[in-house]
Structure 1
Amino acid sequence: MRDRQPAPQPDPSPFDDAPVAVAPISRRTVTLGVSLLATAVLAAVALVVPTPYAMRSPGPTEDTLQRNLIQIEGARTYESTGELRLTTVSVLGGPGYPMLSGQVIQGWLDPKRSVLPVEAIFPEATTQEQQKELSQAEMVSSQESATAAALTEIGYDVPAVLDVAGTEPGSGAEGKLSEGDVIVEFQGEPVGTYADLIDGLAETNPGDDVTLGVQRGKRAMDVDITTSGNGERAVLGVFIDPRYDFPVDVSIEIENIGGPSAGTMFALGIIDKLTAEDEANGKVIAGTGTMSPEGTVGPIGGIEQKLYGAVRDGAKWFLAPADNCAQVVGNVPAGLNVVKVSTLAEARDAVEQIGRDEGSDLPTCS
């Protein structure tokens, strides 16, 4: 029997028993490594630090012609084939809900968003709940003003009691009218609608003296006021809270949207439903703007974001308040045509021209 031989072993490496040389770590290298680690930690922490900023982003849009948003009783309504979309802004941050640094940086890098100091969006010393309540109150007032303006635009008389809510400091009405007074006459003529008062002022020059018939409690009295105004339009310097007696029952049902900026699109939706003409005629038209009872389109905030929201939801046309044109210029997304409007009559005419494919000559903000 052959003896079993041990398995051959590899030759030992000449380096197996040699000491391993380790390069010494310099103090500079250690300092650099610690600094980089500290910087990374600080940067990560900085991204979650609360900031005094809030951010506006494109919010949802709603078609005011959809079946259940505007409901009308007491008058014949008509079907529409187009869309009249109100636009909104979503706000991140604010009282009790601060934005983090990382979110601020993202907002700065996104052209569809704008980052502003909190106080530029929210009134100082207000809570999130107070801001929500104010926004809802503004929405209700906006709906009433839009209804009054729309019905007046298409020929209805809209009776109203004109309660005085206050006076503008420094105006001719200060100290002469009080909260709770009711304006019943202008220059000796009865005032039964908001339009009556506005029509009277339209024939008055700034600086003219006018006489208001006022009901103060059970007492009837005449009050002389010197009007003011920067241009051709005279103003009384009186804040009025109208109580309407609408000849048509209009109700607007919309959730999770507040503020006054949908007034113009509400008014256009009411007009479209109450008139036989299909004004939008298949076109998708978006817009924004407050609406006064006499039909004036007022400026709003966040129009840059509303332009992007309109394009996202399929709009090719956008109605913008003339007083917002400075913010519109340079911020119009590709494929969107912006029309500037100052009154409800102008906005209505724009919708009709767009519906007839005749919108190319409408005024713009450029």
Structure 2
Amino acid sequence: MRKKHYLRFLIIAGIFFVASSFYYLPYYVSKPGMAKELAPIIEVENGNGEKGSFMLTTIRMGKANIYAYTIAKFSKYQEIYPVEEVRSKDETDEEYNVRQLHMMEGSKTNAIEVAYKKANIPVKFRFNGVYVLQVIPNMPAEGKLKPGDRVTRIDGKEFESMDQFIDYIGVKKPGDKVEVTYERDGQSHTVSLAVQTFSKDKNKVGIGIGLVDDKQIEVHPKVTIDSEEIGGPSAGTMFSLEIYNQLTKTDLTKGYQIAGTGTISPDGTVGRIGGIEQKIVAADKAGAEIFFAPEEKGVSDSNYKMAVKTAKDIGTSMKIVPIETFDDAVAYLEKLKMKK
């Protein structure tokens, strides 16, 4: 009899555990991710090899159930974020993921531009349309367009920038219809939508999408970056270093395992990222010897200062190097002695 009660208890407890694990709190939890070598995922046509390696670093971010939240509360290198600090207002999970992947695409484009210009190789851009990041509820595009669609024409007309798209729609009157041609999963579609005023700004009309320019960089030699499902812009700096290293004869790695993080702007400026502490942990576990961190002009809570603090806390011998620009990183590596 006692065995039956015990078995019943275990079954009920198991059901409760499984059910409660699918109940998500209004928080996200981030934790150290991985440090991944870039040479296998970046290929410059006829590019040069390297003795060491450049590595991107990641964090793992996910919605928090009660167990993940509790573990994070008592873990030094896990962080808890309210939903509103991660997703924009009214942004769905799908829209958030699309935004992250598009930011990754932007970081790739910027990295290629910076690296090729540094190598004195010309770059060109081709405009592909506008990329749908978000569909606003209760607006004409709801149920018709979705995040990830690429709008290529309006009323049969092509345009050369997001601004031209906005200007064309902006002169319409509420109720006017426009033919929107868009691409989804490689297929072209056209839908008729009536423009409408925005609830938060009655002086503006639109179809109700958050959008950004979708442009493609064209370079020779060709370069491919297979970032898989990694999202966000924080790998930009390390992308640019790997690409530049393959474009030039001198191996900037000098045989070292070099990790780092930071967004990259078209002018080569390195920007702040989130989760620097967790990325230091990930890089150390992967055996990185050097880590590039955004200095941010020396502000008190800069990525660099937080990286130095974390490196000291975990007792790593990894050298933390502050950088403001892509050129700073290259200059440091050019002076670095070859590893014995």
TM-score range, shorter chain: 0.5 to 0.7
Structure 1 contact 83–282 (Cα < 8 Å) conserved? yes
Structure 1 contact 104–115 (Cα < 8 Å) conserved? yes
Q: 1:57 to 1:82 in 2, by over 3 A?
A: same
Q: C-alpha separation between the residues in 1 aligned to 2:260 and 2:337? A: 15
Give the corresponding residue for 2:43. Answer: 71
Give the corresponding residue for 1:327. Answer: 306
Q: C-alpha separation between the residues in 2 aligned to 1:243 and 1:85? A: 24
Q: C-alpha separation between the residues in 2 aligned to 1:103 and 1:158? A: 45
Give the corresponding residue for 2:263. Answer: 290
Which of residues 70, 86, 111 in structure 1 aligns to 2:56?
Answer: 86
**Quick check: 121-130 or 281-290, which moved more?**
121-130
Q: C-alpha separation between the residues in 2 aligned to 1:86 and 1:249? A: 21
Q: C-alpha separation between the residues in 1 aligned to 2:122 and 2:241? A: 18
Deviations 1:276-297 (A, max 9, x none): 1111122111001111112111
Deviation at 1:258, TM superposition (A): 1.1
Which of residues 148, 158, 179 in structure 1 aligns to 2:123?
Answer: 158
Deviations 1:4-56 (A, max 9, x none): xxxxxxxxxxxxxxxxxxxxxxxxxxxxxxxxxxxxx9xx99x8674322111
Deviation at 1:245, TM superposition (A): 3.5
Give the corresponding residue for 1:18. Answer: none
Deviations 1:135-164 (A, max 9, x none): 11111111111001000111223244799x
Deviations 1:186-230 (A, max 9, x none): xxxxxxxxxxxxxxxxxxxxxxxxxxxxxxxxxxxxxxxxxxxxx
Q: Which runs of 5+ in 2 are unaligned?
A: 1-12, 131-160, 166-211, 297-302
- The alignment of Structure 1 onto Structure 2 pairs a total of residues equal to 238
Alignment of 1:353 with 2:325, yes or no, is: no
Task: Map 1:157-306 onto structure 2 (within 5 A).
Answer: 157-160=122-125, 179-180=163-164, 244-306=217-279
Letter in 2 for 1:57: K
Structure 2 contact 31–61 (Cα < 8 Å) conserved? yes
Deviations 1:75-97 (A, max 9, x none): x421111010000110121xxxx
* SS of equivalent residue, structure 1 residue 331: helix
Task: Map 1:115-154 onto structure 2 (within 5 A).
Answer: 115-154=80-119
Deviation at 1:240, TM superposition (A): 8.2
Q: 1:134 to 1:302 in 2, by over 3 A?
A: same
Deviation at 1:243, TM superposition (A): 5.4
Give the corresponding residue for 2:35. Answer: 61
Give the corresponding residue for 1:15. Answer: none
* SS of equivalent residue, structure 1 residue 179: helix
Q: 1:329 to 1:108 in 2, by over 3 A?
A: farther
Q: Which runs of 5+ in 1 are unaligned?
A: 1-40, 166-176, 182-238, 359-366
Rg (Cα) greater in structure: 1
Deviations 1:237-282 (A, max 9, x none): xx98765442331110121211111111111001111111111122
- Cα RMSD for the two superposed structures: 3.0
Q: C-alpha separation between the residues in 1 aligned to 2:339 and 2:332? A: 10
Structure 2 contact 308–320 (Cα < 8 Å) conserved? no
Q: C-alpha separation between the residues in 2 aligned to 1:320 and 1:126? A: 30
Name the structure where strand makes up a greater proportion of residues. Answer: 2
Give the corresponding residue for 1:340. Answer: 322
Structure 2 contact 123–219 (Cα < 8 Å) conserved? yes
Give the corresponding residue for 1:52. Answer: 26
Give the corresponding residue for 1:14. Answer: none
Q: C-alpha separation between the residues in 2 aligned to 1:261 and 1:50? A: 27
- TM-score between both structures, scaled by the size of structure 2: 0.63
Deviation at 1:355, TM superposition (A): 5.1
